[in-house]
C-alpha cells in the first residue's frame, strides 16, 4: 500500500518546472513536483556537456527525484567554466539548498566559495572529479572514480600487449588541464610506464575531453609525426573517437597501425572497438545518481559511512567488445 503510494507520487512528479539563465552564462534547472513542500533539495553544479560520459552522468543525477520523490534537484550547467560553477554554488547557497553537489571542472580555486557554503551550514559533496582545498572540512564527502588507477590500468593494457621491452612512440591526448581526470590519469599512466625504458611519449597535448578537439589535435600529431606514432593514449573516449576519424583520414588503420587505449566506456567507443578500430577501454562509471542520493541521505541523517567512495570499474580489451556492447548502459 505504502509502496504503491510512493510509486504513484514518483510517477506523477513533473520533471522540469523551470529553466533560467543567470549563472554567468550557465543554465540552471529545477526538477521537482512542488518546491514548497518539505523535500530535501540537492543543488548540483555540473561541469558542462563536453562528452558522452558527461551526458550520461547528468541523466543519472537528474533521475534522483524519480528514485526518491522526497528529493528535489536543482541543476546548473557550468559550460566548462569554473566561474560559472562558482556562481551556481552561490545561487544554491542563497536558495538555502540542503546539499551542494559539485563536479568541479578543475581541482583548485574552490576554497572561498566552499567556505561560504560551510558558513551557511550547507554540506558539500564532491562528485566525479575532486578538489584541492587547504581545509578538508570544507568537503563533507567525495564519490567518484580513482583517476590515477584508471591511468595505471590504461598503461597495463599497453604493457600486456607489447611487453616492457618494446620500443614504442606514444601520443597522448590529455583531458581538461587542471582537472582530476587529466592529472590523475596522466600520473597513473606515466608512473606505470617508468619500468619500460623504451616507451616514449613523443606527443602530448590537451583535447579538452571533446571529440572535435581530439580530432584537431590528432591531425596535428599525424602531420608532424604520422609515421612514428605506435600508440594513442587518450584520457577519454570522445577524444579518441575524434582521433580515430583523423587517423582514417590520414590513411592509416586505427586499432592496427596505431594501438588505441582510452578511458570511459561509452557505447560509441565500444562499437568502434568491436569493429577493430580501438584496442582497450578503461571503464569510468558516470552513473552516479544512485550513489549521490545514498550519500546525501547519509549526510542529512548525520550517518555518513565513508567520506570517500570510489566507484567500481572494469577494463575491456578488443576481444571482449562485441560481447560487452549490448550490456553498455551509457
List contacts with ligand AHR (CB under 6 A).
50-51, 53-54, 128-129, 181, 209, 236, 238, 263-264, 284
Give the C-alpha separation, 151 to 167, whole Å.
20
Q: By three-state DSSP, how is residue 304 classified?
A: coil
In the complex with ligand AHR, the residue whose CB is nearer, 30 or 236, is 236
Radius of gyration of the chain measured on its C-alpha atoms: 21
Q: By three-state DSSP, how is residue 280 classified?
A: strand
In the complex with ligand AHR, the residue whose CB is nearer, 32 or 46, is 46
In the complex with ligand AHR, the residue whose CB is nearer, 22 or 314, is 314
In the complex with ligand AHR, the residue whose CB is nearer, 41 or 143, is 143
**In angstroms, what is the minimal distance from the CB of 172 to ligand AHR?**
14
Give the C-alpha separation, 252 to 248, whole Å.
5
**In angstroms, what is the minimal distance from the CB of 32 to ligand AHR?**
27
Work out the burial of residue 275: count CB atoms within 10 Å of its CB; fewer than 13 is exposed, 13-18 middle, 19 or more buried. middle
In the complex with ligand AHR, the residue whose CB is nearer, 27 or 169, is 27
Structure-block grid coordinates of residue 96: 538555502
Structure-block grid coordinates of residue 215: 580530432
**In angstroms, what is the minimal distance from the CB of 218 to ligand AHR?**
16
**In angstroms, what is the minimal distance from the CB of 127 to ligand AHR?**
9
Question: What backbone torsions phi and psi does residue 69 show, to the nearest 5 degrees?
Answer: -65, -5
**In angstroms, what is the minimal distance from the CB of 106 to ligand AHR?**
11
In the complex with ligand AHR, the residue whose CB is nearer, 93 or 261, is 261
> Within 13 Å, how many C-alpha atoms sit on residue 40's CB side?
20
Query: 180: closest CA among 103, 91, 120?
Result: 103
- Residues present in the chain in total: 330
DSSP 43-58: EEEE--S-SHHHHHHH
**In angstroms, what is the minimal distance from the CB of 235 to ligand AHR?**
7
Amino acid at each position: 500500500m505504502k509502496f504503491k503510494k510512493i510509486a504513484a507520487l514518483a510517477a506523477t512528479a513533473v520533471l522540469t518546472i523551470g529553466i533560467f539563465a543567470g549563472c554567468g552564462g550557465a543554465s540552471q534547472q529545477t526538477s521537482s513536483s512542488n518546491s514548497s513542500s518539505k523535500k530535501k533539495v540537492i543543488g548540483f553544479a555540473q561541469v558542462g556537456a563536453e562528452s558522452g560520459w558527461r551526458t550520461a552522468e547528468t541523466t543519472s543525477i537528474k533521475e534522483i527525484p524519480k528514485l526518491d520523490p522526497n528529493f528535489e534537484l536543482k541543476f546548473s550547467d557550468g559550460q566548462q567554466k569554473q566561474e560559472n560553477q562558482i556562481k551556481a554554488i552561490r545561487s544554491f547557497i542563497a536558495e538555502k539548498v540542503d546539499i551542494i553537489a559539485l563536479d568541479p571542472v578543475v581541482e583548485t580555486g574552490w576554497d572561498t566559495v566552499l567556505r561560504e557554503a560551510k558558513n551557511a551550514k550547507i554540506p558539500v559533496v564532491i562528485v566525479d572529479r575532486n578538489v584541492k582545498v587547504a581545509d578538508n572540512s570544507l568537503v563533507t564527502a567525495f564519490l567518484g572514480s580513482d583517476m590515477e588507477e584508471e591511468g595505471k590500468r590504461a598503461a597495463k593494457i599497453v604493457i600486456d600487449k607489447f611487453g616492457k621491452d618494446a620500443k614504442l612512440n606514444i601520443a597522448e591526448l590529455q583531458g581538461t588541464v587542471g582537472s582530476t581526470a587529466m592529472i590523475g590519469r596522466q600520473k597513473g599512466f606515466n608512473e606505470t610506464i617508468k619500468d619500460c625504458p623504451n616507451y616514449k611519449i613523443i606527443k602530448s597535448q590537451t583535447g579538452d575531453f571533446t571529440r572535435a578537439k581530439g580530432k584537431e589535435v590528432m591531425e596535428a600529431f599525424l602531420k608532424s609525426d604520422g609515421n612514428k606514432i605506435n600508440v594513442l593514449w587518450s584520457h577519454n573516449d570522445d577524444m579518441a573517437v575524434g582521433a580515430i576519424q583523423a587517423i582514417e583520414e590520414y590513411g592509416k588503420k586505427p586499432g592496427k597501425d596505431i594501438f588505441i587505449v582510452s578511458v570511459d566506456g561509452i557505447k560509441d567507443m565500444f562499437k568502434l572497438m568491436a569493429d577493430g578500430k580501438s584496442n582497450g577501454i578503461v571503464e569510468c562509471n558516470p552513473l552516479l545518481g544512485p550513489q549521490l542520493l545514498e550519500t546525501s541521505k547519509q549526510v542529512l541523517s548525520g550517518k555518513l559511512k565513508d567520506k570517500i567512495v570510489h566507484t567500481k570499474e572494469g577494463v575491456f580489451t578488443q576481444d571482449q567488445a562485441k560481447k560487452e556492447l549490448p550490456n553498455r548502459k551509457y
